[in-house]
């Protein structure tokens, strides 16, 4: 009889089965089929600091846990990928400090992954959040700014405020058209005030709630604090400029203050970015939580100190020999 449990820690509003994201139903089924005991608990972030080793193993929604036998999880920008990271998520993940060397990536495998994601997102013009199905015409060669929903991770990631980012880009557009897209989920007072300011002071800036893929197809460069749209821009082979910390920084230009903008724009537009190899490296080497999930997940658990005997699970090394 297993002595340990796989504990899935969710915020209170996601604990009920009807509200639980599909990934956690999948984890419950997968671990149960492999013989583990699974429990879903209310996420208590204070209690999830500096966890000690086994026998339980902790999977924590939206991060915030540290110590042994823990993996933090959330969607890794695009489905079907999820973080399962011992350090944290996004700019706090292990991939933030990982070394990306395009020469060390199989070009054929990169091409296949890149094209698969283009077929999933770019061709049907879909994204993580709902997009307009109608087509809108955007100026070619524009700078496209994508605003983000308010969240604690974005606040901690940003180098400057959203207002300062937009002012910097608009002022330094160097004659290029500018498009601004509000986040589909963000209609807060800060966004409303920012858009009103743009309409009053820079009426030439195009504000649109249109399909982001139409914007990315037209633009010369994609700008955000740290949005998942950066990956989608790469799928369009468009350069990315970030105004915050992100584990996508390996294939982007980062701006830390307004004075950085002119050089960042020049670098973004003139660098031969390795989009295909980076996308493959990030999703298939760093995240490894896509279509074939449990094998890499068990490997991540093993690296995080999981006691497979206590959990009633076969370790990855044994599964590989079966």
In this structure, which topology does domain 104-278 adopt according to CATH? Rossmann fold (3.40.50)
Mean pLDDT taken over the chain:
92
Place of tokens 């994609």: 222
Give the pLDDT score at 292.
Answer: 58
Domain boundaries, the chain: 5-84+289-321, 104-278
Query: Is 220:143 a contact under the CB 8 Å cutoff?
Result: yes
The pLDDT tens digits of the residues spanning 146-165 come to 999 777 888 999 999 999 99
Give the pLDDT score at 236.
Answer: 98
Q: Which residue has the higher pLDDT, 149 or 110?
A: 110
CA distance 116 to 125: 14
Kindly report the pTM of this predicted structure: 0.92
Query: Is 58:51 a contact under the CB 8 Å cutoff?
Result: yes
Q: Across the strands, what pairs with 52?
A: none
Give the pLDDT score at 295.
Answer: 86
Quickly list DSSP for 18-82: TTS-HHHHHHHHHHHHTT-EEEEEE--GGGGSSBPP-SSEEEEETS---BSSEEEE-B-SSTT-B
Query: Is 256:159 a contact under the CB 8 Å cutoff?
Result: yes
The pLDDT tens digits of the residues spanning 195-245 come to 999 999 999 999 999 999 999 999 999 999 999 999 999 999 999 999 999
3-class DSSP assignment, residue 181: strand
The pLDDT tens digits of the residues spanning 249-292 come to 999 999 999 999 999 999 999 999 999 999 999 999 999 766 55
In sequence order, which ranges of 244-288 are alpha helices (DSSP H)?
A: 261-270, 275-280
Q: Compute CA distances 133 → 127, 136, 214, whole Å.
A: 11, 9, 10
Rounded percentage of the chain residues whose pLDDT exceeds 90: 82
The pLDDT tens digits of the residues spanning 57-83 come to 999 999 888 889 999 999 999 988 999
């Amino acid at each position: 009889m297993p002595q340990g449990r796989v504990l899935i820690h969710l915020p209170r509003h996601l604990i009920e089965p009807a509200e639980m994201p599909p990934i956690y139903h999948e984890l419950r089924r997968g671990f149960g089929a492999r013989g583990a005991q699974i429990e879903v608990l209310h996420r208590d972030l204070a209690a999830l600091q500096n966890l000690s080793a086994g026998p339980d193993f902790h999977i924590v929604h939206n991060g915030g846990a540290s110590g042994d036998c823990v993996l933090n999880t959330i969607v890794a920008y695009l489905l079907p990928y999820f973080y399962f990271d011992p350090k944290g998520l996004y700019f706090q993940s292990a991939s933030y400090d990982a070394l990306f060397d395009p020469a060390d990536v199989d070009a054929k495998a990169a091409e296949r992954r890149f094209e698969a994601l283009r077929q999933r997102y770019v061709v049907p013009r879909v994204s993580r959040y709902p997009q307009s199905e109608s087509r809108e015409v955007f100026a070619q060669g524009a700078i496209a700014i994508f605003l983000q929903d308010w969240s604690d991770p974005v606040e901690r990631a940003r180098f400057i405020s959203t207002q300062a980012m937009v002012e910097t880009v608009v002022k330094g557009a160097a004659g290029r058209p500018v498009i601004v897209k509000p986040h589909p989920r963000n209609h807060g007072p800060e966004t409303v005030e920012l858009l009103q300011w743009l309409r009053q002071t820079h009426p030439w800036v195009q504000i649109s709630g249109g399909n982001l893929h139409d914007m990315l197809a037209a633009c010369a460069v994609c700008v955000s604090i740290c949005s998942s749209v950066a990956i989608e821009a790469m799928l369009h082979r468009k350069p990315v400029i970030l105004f915050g910390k992100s584990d996508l920084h390996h294939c982007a230009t980062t701006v830390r203050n307004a004075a950085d903008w002119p050089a960042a724009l020049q670098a973004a537009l003139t660098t031969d970015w390795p989009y295909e190899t980076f996308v493959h490296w990030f999703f298939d080497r760093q995240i490894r939580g896509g279509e074939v999930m449990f094998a890499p997940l068990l490997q991540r658990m093993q690296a995080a100190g999981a006691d497979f005997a206590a959990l009633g699970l076969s370790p990855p090394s044994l599964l590989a020999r079966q």
